[in-house]
Amino acid sequence: MSEPLVWLPFDPSELGDVPAGLRYEVVPTLDEVPASVGEVELVVTPYDLGDQLGEAVKGMERLRVVQTLTAGVDAVRASVPADVTLCNGRGIHDTSTAELAFLLVLAGLRDLPRFVRAQDRREWSPAWRGALAGKRVAVVGAGSIASALQRRLEAFEAEVTMVGRTAREGVRATDELPSLLPEQDVVVLLVPLTDATRGLVDADFLAALPDGALLVNVARGAVVDTDALLAELGTGRLRAALDVFETEPLPDDSPLWDARGLILTPHVGGLSDAMWPRAYRLVREQLERFAAGEPLENVMDGDY
């Protein structure tokens, strides 16, 4: 019997010591799959996969495992057959995405765009602005990225409330949000996109926030009702920083480009040089488990 075939989106040499007992093929994109499609048993998907898996998976007769390089699996889960194990990239983006979320919180509170624009005009324009120290921050989503962000926020003397799907030690439940939101200066979204979180941040959610609160979304664009957010931003009552959007790239005619009190970044939460070493480590460890017939990590079971 031949060794199981693995598709990688990068050269196997990036893994260092390549796990033995497996065959490797470099498949950087799933737009056009190679002739070995019927033999592949484990697929590590490209980071910028998009919707390519849906068509490619139809020819994968021996497929057993799909390993993504993203923490969110909303783009692929519908395409993964029920008898195939889906694993996400939890741990790959903790550092990079937590850093961006932290940066957006600081930039929003200190109004960094104001000073950058003043620099462009060669204008000396001092102004008093808010600090992170002493602020109450709710992190909605209590996974590994959220924990990494919590450590950074608390190091800067913020009062952090972690909010997850269910209550546990150190984490409040999402059904407590109506009572928690009026007390928060900042809310950071780090939830996966599911039926339960789609449109979570609606008009009622936003209305519950106090005047001057900052909303930061580094989760998925569809978690936020864009029209409801635009309405609040238009009055100047709330501020926001968004790294994710329902439609990406953001269309040229989107009103978000000109929205008052809004910082935009083009979905760059994972795009730093901290990502790839962690990606290679996770993939290597998963392949070692796969080759040895051991249980895999980051298995996405049930309602994720």
- Active site (catalytic) residues: 220, 248, 267
Q: Which tokens belong to 182?
A: 């009026």
Round to whole Å and give the CA distance between 301 and 223: 21
Name the region of 167 (left: φ>0; alpha: ψ -120 to 50; beta: rest).
Answer: beta
Q: For the chain, give the secondary structure using H, E and C.
A: CCCCEEEECCCHHHHCCCCCCCEEEECCCCCCCCHHHHCEEEEECCCCCCCCHHHHHHHCCCCCEEECCCCCCCCCHHHCCCCCEEECCCCCCHHHHHHHHHHHHHHHHHCHHHHHHHHHCCCCCCCCCCCCCCCEEEEECCCHHHHHHHHHHHHCCCEEEEEECCCECCEEEHHHHHHHHHHCCEEEECCCCCCCCCCCECHHHHHHCCCCCEEEECCCHHHECHHHHHHHHHHCCCEEEECCCCCCCCCCCCHHHHCCCEEECCCCCCCCCCHHHHHHHHHHHHHHHHHHCCCCCCECCCCC
Q: Are strands 65-67 and 40-44 parallel, antiparallel or unpaired?
A: parallel
